[in-house]
Amino acid sequence: MLEVRNLLKSYGDYQALSGLSLELQEGEIISVLGPSGCGKSTLLQLVAGLSRPDGGEILLHGQTIATASKMLPPEKRGINMVFQDYALWPHMNVFENVAYGLKEKRMPLQQIKDKVAGALALLQLEGFERRLPPQLSGGQQQRVAIARALVTEPRLMLLDEPLSNLDMRLRVEMRTEMSVLFRRLKMSVFHVTHDPEEAFAMADKLLLMRSGAIDQFDTPFACYHKPASRQAASLLGAVNVLQGHFAGTAEEPAIGCSAGLLSGILCEPGGKLKVDGPAELRFRPEALALLPETADAAVEKKGGQTNILEARVIHCTFEGTKWRTLAETSGSERLYLFSEEHLETGGVIRMALPSHAAYLYGL
């Protein structure tokens, strides 16, 4: 239902979007995820009609809504947006805020009342009709903003960092609620965030952005298990890095690094891996399994599918369900891992890293 073709946008000399293309299907939730400054908000604003592209095209239901020379005004696009700062009218009460879009459409009063009541019920805001925004908590204000965006039944909903201003507990609660609500209403949603957990909680598809372009566009499962680049891997939690040089072949990848020659590791395609060229291995803390001191290395290797790493414990903290440990390899590379027990500072530990959870990228 939404198609973006080869979208370009610059601010002066700075190219914020460099030829971006994507499609969003009816009833689908796409979460756009990327570091600050990668162009997420720029993309959203172009779709919303708040700014004009320099090149490319945006189509909604097959109708061109934006090119460099033609712009359908925002109010004619059938798109509603929920902002990070809620953007509620402070002098209007909850009812008036939610009813605003319907009044603009000159809907009969009884119909407006019914629709607003329906939207407020959906977001568990009954009884708040007469309150002004400053008399509401952050979470309640964000619910009002969502109710206001839903009530006019837009074809597409845009969410710009919708939960960033809420505290952690509320964020976790709201992202699940929003995900359930939008699916129940079969809404098409384009959602921008810098928080991977929020993206995973909401998305049918993840759009990972980097420097104004798409890094990866796939299901959350595929992005998580096969990150397309080292930046995508890092964004999705693979924060442990071993720098080294690529050895072996594409079929039998290996990396020479401070931990010795690691073989049998998963090699991400990308064409940039050169034999003996610089490479890095990335993996998540949860991919590392602590080995008992007495374990026989030959048995652990299980036919070369598991890498064995050795490191010295630097710090170990209790995080509620597990201990998070920071350890250092002989090459001074820092690794995070989780363990069931406390690990003594200064102790040497050995860890198993399964090949399928280690991602290799050329530099």
Measured from the Cβ of residue 185, the count of other Cβ atoms closer than 10 Å reads: 14
Closest to ligand ADP by CB, 33 or 259: 33
Which residue among 34, 56, 162, 196 contacts ligand ADP (CB under 6 A)? 34
- Please, what sign has the CA dihedral across residues 190, 194, 200, 206? positive
Q: Looking only at residues 12 through 31 of this chain, which bind ligand ADP when binding is defined by CB under 6 A?
A: 14, 16
Nearest CB to ligand ADP, comparing residues 44 and 150: 44
Q: Cβ contacts of residue 99 below 8 Å, gap of 6+?
A: 112, 116, 151
Contacting range for ligand ADP; rule: CB under 6 A; set: 10-18, 149-157, 284-292, 341-349: 10-18
* Minimum CB–partner distance for residue 101 and ligand ADP (Å): 25
Report the distance separating Cα 136 and Cα 312, nearest Å: 50
**Which candidate, 303, 229, 326, 311, places its Cα nearest to that of 270?**
229
Give least dist CB 147 to ligand ADP, A.
Answer: 25
**Given the rule CB under 6 A, which of 34-42, 98-106, 130-138, 144-152 is the region that contacts ligand ADP?**
34-42
φ/ψ bin of 266: left (φ > 0), alpha (ψ from -120 to 50), beta (otherwise): beta
CA–CA gap between residue 226 and residue 232 (Å, rounded): 9
Site track 37-76 with ligand ADP (rule: CB under 6 A), x = hit: xxxxxx----------------------------------
Residue 155: strand, helix, or coil: coil
Q: Which is nearer to ligand ADP, 16 or 267 (CB)?
A: 16
Given the rule CB under 6 A, which of 35-43, 106-114, 226-234, 331-339 is the region that contacts ligand ADP? 35-43
Smallest distance from ligand ADP to CB 10, Å: 9
Q: Shortest distance, CB of residue 48 to ligand ADP, whole angstroms?
A: 12
- State the virtual CA torsion across 229, 234, 237, 243 in degrees, nearest 10: 100
Rounded CA-CA distance 301/5 in Å is 48
The one-letter amino acid code at 162 reads P
Q: Is the separation of the CB atoms in 251 and 205 below 8 Å?
A: no
Using CA atoms, how far residue 247 sits from 153, 257, 278, in Å, is 56, 10, 10
Does residue 193 bind ligand ADP (CB under 6 A)? no
Closest separation between CB of residue 157 and ligand ADP, Å?
A: 18
Q: In the complex, what is the shortest distance from the CB of residue 2 to ligand ADP, in angstroms, rounded to a whole number? A: 18
Q: Distance between CA atoms of 9 and 53, rounded to whole angstroms? A: 5
Regarding 36 and contact with ligand ADP (CB under 6 A), the answer is: yes
The tokens 């009002």 sit on which residue? 144
> Given the structure tokens 């073709």, which residue do they identify?
5
In this complex, which beta carbon is closest to ligand ADP, that of residue 207 or of residue 352? 207
Give the residue with the Cβ less far from ligand ADP, 56 or 133.
56
Q: Which DSSP symbol is given to 71?
A: B
- Beta carbon nearer to ligand ADP, 42 or 231: 42
User: Positive or negative, the Cα torsion across 130, 135, 140, 143?
Assistant: positive
Residue found by looking up tokens 């390899």 in the block: 329
Backbone angles phi, psi at 254, to 5 degrees: -150, 155
Least distance (Å) from ligand ADP to the CB of residue 160? 8
Interface size with ligand ADP, residues (CB under 6 A): 11
Interface region with ligand ADP, contact rule CB under 6 A, candidates 33-41, 163-171, 255-263, 336-344: 33-41
Residue 81 near residue 158 (C-beta atoms within 8 A): yes
Nearer of residues 162 and 248 to ligand ADP, judged by Cβ: 162
Q: Which is nearer to ligand ADP, 21 or 258 (CB)?
A: 21
DSSP state of 77: T
- Least distance (Å) from ligand ADP to the CB of residue 35? 7
CB of 24 to ligand ADP, least distance (A): 18
Stretch touching ligand ADP by CB under 6 A, among 36-44, 101-109, 214-222, 350-358: 36-44
Which residues of the chain form contacts with ligand ADP (CB under 6 A)? 11, 14, 16, 34, 36-42
